[in-house]
Amino acid sequence: MNNNPMIEFKDFWSTTFTNYIQNPWSIITLIIDVVIVAFLIYEVVKILKGSRAMQLVKGIIFLFVITWLSSIFNLKILNYLLTTIMTYGVILLIVLFQPELRRALEQLGSSNKLTRYLGLEKDIISKTKEDIYKIGIAVMELSKTKTGALIVIERDIRLKEIISTGVTINGEISPQLLVNIFTPNTPLHDGAVIVSENKIAAAACVLPLASDGDISRELGTRHRAAIGMSKESDAIIVVVSEETGKISIAKEGTLIADLKEEALKKILISNIVTKRFKMGDQKSIIEKVKNIKFKKNKQE
C-alpha cells in the first residue's frame, strides 16, 4: 500500500476528473457546491473580521498548513502531536469561544438579507436613521441632567431572551418616552431599554455583566452590563453615566467613552445603518428630526 500523500492526491483528482467527464451533470453540482462553500466562507470571514475569533481562525489555518507539511515530509512525531492537538482542540475551542460561535451562527441566520431581496430595505433604512437621531436627542437630554441610562440597540442577533427579563412596551421610539423611562424613582428606570425592529421593545431589562477583568474598576454596573451585553451579541449599547453624565458606547466587547453628540450619531449610523445596509441620502432624515420638538419633563 502506497502512503505517499502526493500520489494519493493525484489519484484522487484523476478519478474525480474521470467521473466528471463520464457524468456531465456532476459538473453542475460541483459548481453549485463550490459556490455555496465560497459563500459560507465569505460570510463567516465577514462576521469574524475584526473580532478576537479572527485571530483564532488564522491560528487554526496555520496549524492545518503545518500538519499538512509534516505529513508530506514524513515528520511523524510532529504530525502525531499536531493531529492530536487538532482532534481534541476542537472541543476546547467550542467551549472557549461559545459566545463568538453563537453570534456568528445567529448572524448567518438573520433576516437582513431577506429584506434586501424583497426590496424592503429602503424603508427600513429611512426609519432606522430617523430612530437613531431620536435616540441621540434623548441621550443628550439625559446626559445634561446626569440621568443614568442604558439603551441596547438590536442588530442582526435577536434579543428575545433579554427582552423577556423586562417589561414589554412595544412602543414607537421617541425622545420623550426614552427620557420618561429613565427618570429616577419611576418603575422602569432601573435596567436597560431594548430597541428592537425600530421599536422600544421593553424596559427594565436585565443584562449579563462583564467580568472584572474586562472593565476598569472606576466604571459602574451600567458600563459592566453594557460590555457584557456587547460580548454576548452584536448589539450596540449606549450608556449615560449617572455620576458624570458622560456618554459611552459598547460594541463587540469594547467601550468607547466620553462621546459628544456628533460622535455619538456618527458611530450609531456607522454601526447600525452603514454596516447593515447600503447608505442612502441622510438629508431628508436629518431635516425630519430637526423638526421634532423635544418637551422636557418637569418634575414636581
Q: pLDDT: is 1 or 89 the higher one?
A: 89
Task: Decide: 202 and 194 in contact? Cβ < 8 Å.
Answer: yes
Look up residue 88 and give its three cell numbers.
Answer: 481534541
Please give the model's pTM, rounded to 2 decimal places: 0.59
Indicate the domain borders of the chain.
5-108, 116-290
The dihedral through the CA atoms of 283, 286, 288, 290 has a sign that is: negative
Q: pLDDT tens, 36-82?
A: 888 887 877 776 665 556 666 777 788 888 888 888 888 888 888 88
Predicted confidence at residue 218, as pLDDT, reads: 73
What pLDDT score was predicted for residue 34? 84
Q: d(Cα 122, Cα 208) in Å, to the nearest integer?
A: 33
Phi, psi of 207 (to 5 degrees): -105, 155
Q: For the residues of the chain, what is the DSSP string, one character each?
A: ----HHHHHHHHHHHHHHHHHH-THHHHHHHHHHHHHHHHHHHHHHHHTTSHHHHHHHHHHHHHHHHHHHHHTT-HHHHHHHHHHHHHHHHHHHHHTHHHHHHHHHHHT-SHHHHHHTT-HHHHHHHHHHHHHHHHHHHHHHHHTT--EEEEE--SS--HHHHTTSEEEEEE--HHHHHHHHSTTSTT-SSEEEEETTEEEEEEE--PPPPGGGS-TTS-HHHHHHHHHHHHSS-EEEEE-TTT--EEEEETTEEE-S--HHHHHHHHIIIIIITTS-----HHHHHHHHTPPP-PPPP-
The model's confidence at residue 19, banded by pLDDT at 50, 70 and 90, is low
**Side-chain-side CA neighbours of residue 20 (13 Å):** 11
Per-residue confidence band for 125, with pLDDT thresholds at 50, 70 and 90: confident
**Domain 116-290 is found in CATH 3.40.1700.10:** yes
Q: Are 216 and 222 a contacting pair, CB within 8 Å? A: no
Q: What is the mean pLDDT of residues 263-274?
A: 88
Q: Round to whole Å and give the CA distance between 293 and 296.
A: 9
Q: How far apart are CA 208 and CA 231, in angstroms?
A: 9
Q: Name residue 35's amino acid.
A: V
> What tens digit of pLDDT does each residue of 131-143 get?
999 999 999 999 9
- List the one residue out of 235, 276, 237, 227 whose CA is nearest residue 259: 237
Check residue 62 and give its pLDDT.
83
Does 146 have pLDDT greater than 90? yes
Res. 86: pLDDT tops 90: no
